Amino acid sequence: MKEFLLGLRLLLGSGRGNRARFLLMVMGSAVGVCCLAVVLAIPGLLAAQDARKAAREPDCSNGLGECTAEHGAGLALTRLDPYGADPLTRIFVARGGKPIAPPPGLRALPFPGEVVVSPRLHDALRHDPGLAKMLPGREAGIIAARGLAHPDELYAYIGVRRDQIKGGGHLTAFGGRHTDFPTVESSTLDILRFTLSGIVLLPLAVYLSVCARLSAAARVRRLAALRLLGLSRRGLQRVNAAETVVAAFLGAVLGLGGYWVVNQLVSRIGLPGFDWYPSDGSLPFRAVVVCLLGCPVLAWFVSRFGAKRAADNPLAVRRSAEVKAPALWGLVPLIPGLGIIVGYCAVGAAGHAPSDTKLSSVLMPVAVVLVGAGLVLTLPALSRALARKIAATTGSLTLGIAMRRNEVEPSGTLRVATGLVLLVYAASLTQGVLIELDQVSKNTAPVQAYSIQLSELTDDKRRAVGEVPGVRTHMVEATSWSDSDAPGPFPAIQAVIATCGQLRGMASVLKGCVEGRPARLMVPGDTYDDASRPGARFPFRLVDDDGRHRTLTVQVPQQTVHYQDDAVTHTVSSGTVLIPPSLLPEGFRPDYGSLTLLSDSAPQVVRSVLQGIAAVDPTLEVETEGVDIAALRQISVIKTLLGVGMVLGLVIGVAAYLVAATDRAMERKSQVTALSLLGARRRTLRAVQVAQVVLPLVVGLLLAVVTGKAAESSYLVTGGGSVFWDGDGVPLLLASAVGAVVVAALGALPLIGRRIDPELIRRD
CB 475 within 8 A of CB 498: yes
Residue 429 pLDDT greater than 90, yes or no: no
SS3 content of the chain, % helix, strand, coil (to 5): 55, 15, 30
| Closest by Cα among 539, 553, 542, 543 to 492 | 539
Residues 612 and 658 in one domain: no
Rounded to a whole number, what is the distance in angstroms from the first to the last CA of the chain?
Answer: 33
Residues 48 and 188 in one domain: yes
Residues 483 and 557 in one domain: yes
Could you tell me the pLDDT band of residue 143, with boundaries at 50, 70 and 90?
Answer: very high
Enclosing domain of residue 553: 447-627
Backbone CA torsion sign across 156, 161, 164, 167: positive
Residues 45 and 74 in one domain: no
Q: Which residue has the higher pLDDT, 508 or 520?
A: 520
CB 449 within 8 A of CB 596: yes
The CA distance from 349 to 357, in Å, is 18
The CA distance from 308 to 316, in Å, is 12
Residues contacting 23, CB < 8 A, separation 6+: none
Choose one of 294, 321, 348: the last residue of a domain. Answer: 321
Phi, psi at 208, each rounded to 5°: -65, -35
Q: Strand 138-142's sheet: what is its strand order?
A: 138-142, 114-117, 154-159, 86-94, 74-83, 169-171
Backbone CA torsion sign across 17, 18, 23, 25: positive
Q: What percentage of the chain carries pLDDT values higher than 90? A: 14
| 577 sits in which H/E element | strand 577-579
- Asked if residue 177 belongs to a domain, the reply is no
Query: In this predicted structure, what is the pLDDT of residue 63?
Result: 42
* Alpha helix ranges (H) inside 80-212: 119-127, 186-196, 202-212
- Asked if residue 193 belongs to a domain, the reply is yes
Least confident of 132-146, 163-177, 460-474: 163-177
The CA distance from 303 to 300, in Å, is 5
Residues 601 and 681 in one domain: no
Helix axes 202-212, 15-55, angle to 10 degrees: 150
Residues contacting 487, CB < 8 A, separation 6+: none
- Distance of CA 562 to CAs 494, 557, 558, 634, 687, Å? 16, 14, 13, 39, 71
Q: How many CB atoms lie within 10 A of CB 251?
A: 28
Query: In this predicted structure, what is the pLDDT of residue 505?
Result: 85
* Domain count within the chain: 4
Query: In this predicted structure, what is the pLDDT of residue 219?
Result: 64
Residues 685 and 569 in one domain: no
- Asked if residue 241 belongs to a domain, the reply is yes
Could you tell me the pLDDT band of residue 717, with boundaries at 50, 70 and 90?
Answer: confident
Query: In this predicted structure, what is the pLDDT of residue 444?
Result: 61
Residue 667 pLDDT greater than 60, yes or no: yes
Could you tell me the pLDDT band of residue 1, with boundaries at 50, 70 and 90?
Answer: low
Query: In this predicted structure, what is the pLDDT of residue 188?
Result: 73
| Closest by Cα among 682, 677, 691, 698 to 741 | 698
Residue 212 pLDDT greater than 70, yes or no: no
CB 379 within 8 A of CB 700: yes
Choose one of 273, 294, 321: the last residue of a domain. Answer: 321
The CA distance from 189 to 176, in Å, is 21
Phi, psi at 708, each rounded to 5°: -65, -40
Least confident of 46-60, 656-670, 692-706: 656-670
| Closest by Cα among 130, 129, 18 to 611 | 130
pLDDT digits (tens, 9 = 90+) for 566-590: 555 456 788 899 999 988 888 888 9
Residues 469 and 537 in one domain: yes
The overall average pLDDT reported for the chain is 79
Q: What percentage of the chain carries pLDDT values higher than 70? A: 77
Mean pLDDT within 672-685: 69
Mean pLDDT within 33-57: 89
Which amino acid would we find at residue 468?
V
Query: In this predicted structure, what is the pLDDT of residue 724?
Result: 63
- Asked if residue 176 belongs to a domain, the reply is no
Query: In this predicted structure, what is the pLDDT of residue 612?
Result: 92
Return left, alpha or beta for 512; rule: phi > 0 is left, psi -120 to 50 is alpha, else beta.
left
Residues 599 and 719 in one domain: no
Phi, psi at 398, each rounded to 5°: -60, -50
Q: How many CB atoms lie within 10 A of CB 72?
A: 11
Residue 650 pLDDT greater than 80, yes or no: no
Mean pLDDT within 465-490: 80
Residues 342 and 306 in one domain: no
Residue 349 pLDDT greater than 50, yes or no: yes
The CA distance from 171 to 105, in Å, is 18
Mean pLDDT within 234-249: 75
Mean pLDDT within 710-732: 71
Choose one of 601, 627, 653: the last residue of a domain. Answer: 627
Gyration radius of the chain's alpha carbons = 34
CB 718 within 8 A of CB 364: yes
- Asked if residue 412 belongs to a domain, the reply is yes
- DSSP codes, 81-106: EEETTEEEEEEEEE--SS--PPPTT-
Mean pLDDT within 249-270: 90
| 141 sits in which H/E element | strand 138-142
Residues 511 and 620 in one domain: yes
Residue 62 pLDDT greater than 50, yes or no: no
- Asked if residue 756 belongs to a domain, the reply is yes
- Asked if residue 146 belongs to a domain, the reply is yes
Residues 576 and 480 in one domain: yes
Residues in the chain: 764
Q: Which residue has the higher pLDDT, 397 or 552?
A: 552
- Among 184-193, 295-304, 700-709, 754-763, which range has the highest average pLDDT? 700-709
Residues 559 and 621 in one domain: yes
DSSP secondary structure code for residue 499 in this structure: -
- Asked if residue 167 belongs to a domain, the reply is yes
